[in-house]
Structure 1
Amino acid sequence: MEPPPGSPPVAHFFDIGAQLEVPYTEWGDEITQQRIDDEARGNPDAYCLPMGHMQYHLHPQPRKIVQTPDLILIINEANSGLRQIFLDGRELPDSDALQWWFGYSIGHWEGDTLVVETTGFRDDVWIDYNGSPLTSSGKITERFSRPNYGTLEIDVTIEDPKAYTEPFTVRVNQTVMLDTNLIEFVCIENEVSTQHFYDSGE
């Protein structure tokens, strides 16, 4: 789906820069190209580990959003990912906080739009399948809105001075799935693929 004129470009699961020129730093461009050249074999998803925000936003497997007055839970079917967004007025933790796959998320409402700020990431987060990086210096700001029934529109701004020369924004469009439930997704218990990623001589 193409965005209306003036809207952020739509994000893609495999390549977040499919509809824009991502402002990589020299390091960001180099690490992304290394991951592409390695055919994304280091992607956390391949090892049944938690994926980055954008991969979860764009993953074909569904997710459930549970909303309470002080907390929103996003439950991803893929790799059983669970994300917490706190709405109780707390502030983002300082740089001494333990780094998380999903970081620390706090949110507030601006009218009908939920604004979520997230910091505290690990240094090895992949934004997209190709491996665009996010490090512990990164911040993600998401603006969740519902333009109509059944549609969730998320504008995502990514900042990381180590990986990108300036912030950039992409859009994610999601639709509701009615009369369905998440299923159990157990990956690592029977993971047998990664042993075939490299030749036996490597």
Structure 2
Amino acid sequence: MRVKLKDSFVSLVMGGLLLLPASIVSAQGSPEFDSPEFDSRDLSGVWGAIPGSGNNFNYGIGTPPPPLTQWGMENLRLEAITHAAVGDRTAEFTINGVPTNTLGSNYPGKDCEPLGQPANLDYVAFGPMEFVYSRSGDRIIQMLEYHREWRTLWLTDEHPEDIYPSYMGDSIAYWEGNTLVVDTTGFNGLTQLTQGVGHRPSDAFHMVERYTRVSYDRVELVMDMYDEKAWGEGASWSGLAKTFALMPGERLQEFICVPSEFAAFDSALEEAIQ
């Protein structure tokens, strides 16, 4: 399945040459043509991660999260424990003293746990995402192939008063010009922020995403994250950017984490390193 995604991405990159502005194509001696028209407010379709554009399991190298509060250090840090076959690892820290994780340590979705938000946006590198507009016009469904997770973006301007804490949180969405703003709160605090951040969010975690379709085949995402319990009042981890590429004709695959298969992998890994 990953080979399929890789091939799709290569095809997309090569095909992207056909989407260059006419002035550039003309300067290269090729015939001019009009680029495909698109609706800036239409995000429907399957979108894949572009390597090196914030899709690195850390939301953005060089942009560490804020330092943890004393409460955060005591309640949100993760132990650096990896697959049983590999054993313990010592956690490293960012310049702000925030514990990080390498590939051998904890990671979102470990043992087939839900990735949840915001981690699953960092795992579009493993499987694309799709936006589906409801026929009722009151919501947008965001489907994520990896671990087969999905969330509802309610097209309203207010969260309900009685939010039940969840892995995905409660998301409302609205348009600012041609940018879809998604505001999410109501998290259960049971997930890991992302592969490169070694702590969980608290139940006060709040995230704002801004999706902008900048061209026919590109969507840019900018994320701002807030957590007054973890980072302190007024602190934020902001300006985290990602770029996604349209994958015409692509269909999301059934990418489910199966506990028995996970255990078999762990056993095989243990035998291989003995």
Identity within the alignment, %: 26
Match 2:228 to one of 138, 161, 165:
161
> What displacement does 1:151 show?
0.7
Cα 1:152–1:20 shift into 2, 3 Å:
same
Q: Give the structure with the higher percent strand.
A: 1
**Which 10-residue stretch deviates more, 180-189 or 19-28?**
19-28
Question: How many positions carry a matched residue from both structures?
Answer: 186
Partner Cα separation in structure 1 for residue 165 and residue 265 of structure 2: 28
Whether 1:127 aligns to 2:193 is: yes
Partner Cα separation in structure 2 for residue 32 and residue 178 of structure 1: 41
Question: 2:223 touches 2:241 (CA, 8 Å); kept in 1?
Answer: yes
> What displacement does 1:51 show?
1.1
Whether 1:40 aligns to 2:108 is: no
> What displacement does 1:12 show?
4.7
Unaligned regions of 5+ residues in structure 1, if any? 1-9
Partner of 1:20: 63
TM-score by length of 1: 0.79
Cα 1:181–1:136 shift into 2, 3 Å:
same
> What displacement does 1:114 show?
0.6
Q: Please, what is the CA RMSD of the aligned residues?
A: 2.7
Question: 1:49 touches 1:79 (CA, 8 Å); kept in 2?
Answer: no
**Which 10-residue stretch deviates more, 52-61 or 111-120?**
52-61
Question: 1:146 touches 1:153 (CA, 8 Å); kept in 2?
Answer: yes
TM-score by length of 2: 0.60
Question: 1:127 touches 1:134 (CA, 8 Å); kept in 2?
Answer: yes
Partner Cα separation in structure 2 for residue 194 and residue 122 of structure 1: 30
Query: Aligned ranges for residues 87-126 of structure 1 at < 5 Å?
Result: 87=155, 89=156, 91-94=158-161, 96-126=162-192
Cα 1:136–1:195 shift into 2, 3 Å:
farther
Unaligned regions of 5+ residues in structure 2, if any? 1-52, 81-89, 92-100
Partner of 1:62: 128
